[in-house]
């Protein structure tokens, strides 16, 4: 022991033979830092739902607080994005020949992918960027990646407004399928939360992830059929490589994009398994992501 004996004797309150752990046990004290059980953790998280919502809204408000147009940027950002991508892929690269209603096809892909991309990248930074908060206050740490996900969801709702406007302008009819839009978004949100919880733990302990992530995300973007149609692109492949199409369509991002295109664009035919894939990834990501994040709950403060 590395301190004067008198301090130890004092620490043990005179009962020199009793170990401190035993004394703690006798008085019913618990470890200050211990991972709560999974059900209890979910309860704690539910109790902090107001914080999650407020934190997400506050981050969105503070993001645009320095600009003159303020919250209008929540609407302008997706609009400008749509314009840039259309100019790039619709006009300059002229991809639109083979795909009917390419404008709606492209913008749906970009917005849906951006939602997943931003949530996952935000989640990866949510722990490492908030270490001072983690080292100052008690709350279930999953509240942070969750708040980032909610923040992106709020942003997405503005994007959806823009998207629906564009889709209607390109002449798509309003159908009953549109009622399924919230269901598709909910599945995607579930997947995003799971993936971002997973990446939050990875990003918390492997800091270099934040440098690597933009490249991973861009590769994912190009592989997810945002700018092109996956069946068209793989049509020229030899018979022996036909499985590539299935692998590409199993990609969760591709599944959520295809799902939304199916709902919004009448002439679009999604891959056979789009709904199954979408549901599978949502459940799988949430269960694995949440469990994986919770396993390190007590260690996030160390950095």
Partner 1 sequence: MAMERVWPLTAEEQEATAKSSATGTPTVIVDDLHIVYKVYGATSAEEKGNAATALLRLVKRQGRPQMREVHAVKGVSFVARHGDAIGIIGRNGSGKSTLLRAIAGLLPPHSGAVYTDGQPSLLGVNAALMKELTGERNITLGCYAMGMTPSEVRAKYDEIVDFSGIGEFVQFPMSTYSSGMGARLRFAIASAKVHDVLLIDEALATGDREFRKRSQKRIMQMRESAGTVFLVAHNLDVIEETCNRVIWLHKGKIKMDGDPAEVIGAYNKA
Rule CB under 8 A: which residues touch partner 1? 1-4, 6-8, 10-14, 19-21, 23-24, 27-33, 47-48, 50-51, 54-55, 58-59, 61-62, 65-66, 130, 132-139, 207, 298-299, 301-303
CB of 296 to partner 1, least distance (A): 10
CB of 99 to partner 1, least distance (A): 42
Here the tokens at position 15 are 């009962």
Question: Cβ neighbours of residue 56 under 8 Å, at least 6 residues apart?
Answer: 147, 148, 150, 151, 153, 154
What does the alpha-carbon distance between residue 101 and residue 163 come to, in Å, rounded to a whole number?
Answer: 13
- Which residue number, 81 or 129, has a Cβ lying nearer to partner 1? 129
CB of 302 to partner 1, least distance (A): 5
3-class secondary structure, 64: coil
CB of 25 to partner 1, least distance (A): 8
- Beta strands (DSSP E) in 55-168 are none
What does the alpha-carbon distance between residue 207 and residue 128 come to, in Å, rounded to a whole number?
Answer: 8
CB of 2 to partner 1, least distance (A): 4
- Which residue number, 2 or 240, has a Cβ lying nearer to partner 1? 2
CB of 76 to partner 1, least distance (A): 19
What does the alpha-carbon distance between residue 144 and residue 142 come to, in Å, rounded to a whole number?
Answer: 5
Rounded to 5 degrees, φ, ψ at 229 are -95, 125
> Quick one: which of 60, 219, 220, 244 has its CA closest to 154?
60
- Which residue number, 205 or 280, has a Cβ lying nearer to partner 1? 205
- Which residue number, 55 or 111, has a Cβ lying nearer to partner 1? 55
What does the alpha-carbon distance between residue 86 and residue 160 come to, in Å, rounded to a whole number?
Answer: 17
- Which residue number, 6 or 240, has a Cβ lying nearer to partner 1? 6
Please report, to the nearest 10 degrees, the dihedral formed by the alpha carbons of residues 133, 137, 141, 145 taken in order: -40
- Which residue number, 24 or 157, has a Cβ lying nearer to partner 1? 24
């Amino acid at each position: 022991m590395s301190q004067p004996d008198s301090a130890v004797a004092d620490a043990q309150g005179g009962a020199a033979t009793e170990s401190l752990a035993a004394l703690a046990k006798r008085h019913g004290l618990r470890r200050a830092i211990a991972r709560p059980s999974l059900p209890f953790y979910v309860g704690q998280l539910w109790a902090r739902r107001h914080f999650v919502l407020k934190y997400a809204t506050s981050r969105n408000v503070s993001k645009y607080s320095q600009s003159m147009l303020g919250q209008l940027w929540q609407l302008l950002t997706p609009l400008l994005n749509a314009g840039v991508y259309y100019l790039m892929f619709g006009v300059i690269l002229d991809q639109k020949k083979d795909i009917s209603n390419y404008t709606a096809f492209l913008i749906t892909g970009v917005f849906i992918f951006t939602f997943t991309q931003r949530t996952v990248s935000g989640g990866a930074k949510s722990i490492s960027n908030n270490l001072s908060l983690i080292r100052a206050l008690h709350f279930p740490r999953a509240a942070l990646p969750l708040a980032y996900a909610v923040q992106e969801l709020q942003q997405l709702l503005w994007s959806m407004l823009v998207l629906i406007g564009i889709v209607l302008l390109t002449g798509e009819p309003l159908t009953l399928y549109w009622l399924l839009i919230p269901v598709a978004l909910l599945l995607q949100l579930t997947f995003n939360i799971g993936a971002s919880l997973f990446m939050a733990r990875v990003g918390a302990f492997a800091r270099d992830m934040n440098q690597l992530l933009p490249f991973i995300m861009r590769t994912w973007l190009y592989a997810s059929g945002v700018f092109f149609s996956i069946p068209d692109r793989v049509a020229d492949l030899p018979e022996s490589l036909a499985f590539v199409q299935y692998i590409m369509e199993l990609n969760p991002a591709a599944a959520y994009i295809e799902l939304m295109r199916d709902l919004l664009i009448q002439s679009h035919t999604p891959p056979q398994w789009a709904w199954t894939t979408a549901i599978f990834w949502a459940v799988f990501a949430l269960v694995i992501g949440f469990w994986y994040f919770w396993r390190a709950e007590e260690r996030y403060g160390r950095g």
